[in-house]
Amino acid sequence: MDVIISCALVSILLPYFAKIPVIIEMHKAGGYNNKQPRVQQHQLTGLGARAVAAHYNCFESLAVFAVALAVVLGTNHTSNGVQWLAMAHIGARILYCVFYWCDWDLLRSITWSIGLISPITMVALSL
């Protein structure tokens, strides 16, 4: 159970860690615009634009993983296999961000797939 809860914590924090490169790129683009940060973020290009996309995608992924966690915890199905799947999801999501920042699209797509398949499998195993 500790693994599941730890993965939940990491998944909640990941979107905020993924914003660090966004903030760095915003500072490089004339300073962080705290009055309209989203307008500034939409004007970023290259690494900045990819970092914004990775940041937003972390929130999208969090919703899927949260549902899987709710099902797993609600059915009390926290087997070793489910725990490994939760860790695989977290690992894939971290790598997804790195691959997005580096513009490695094929690896990014592979880790995105792993990050999606893992929580779906967690739910399926809880049936």
Please tell me the number of Cα atoms within 13 Å of 80 on its side-chain side.
0
pLDDT for position 127:
93
Domain boundaries, the chain: 2-125
Say how far apart CA 13 and CA 58 lie, in whole Å.
Answer: 9
Mutual angle of helices 2-17 and 47-74, in 10-degree steps: 160
pLDDT for position 125:
97
Do the Cβ atoms of 44 and 29 come closer than 8 Å?
yes
- Specify the fold of 2-125: Four Helix Bundle (Hemerythrin (Met), subunit A) (1.20.120)
pTM score: 0.95
> Tens of pLDDT along 58-82?
999 999 999 999 999 999 999 999 9
Q: Residues of the chain whose pLDDT is less than 50?
A: none
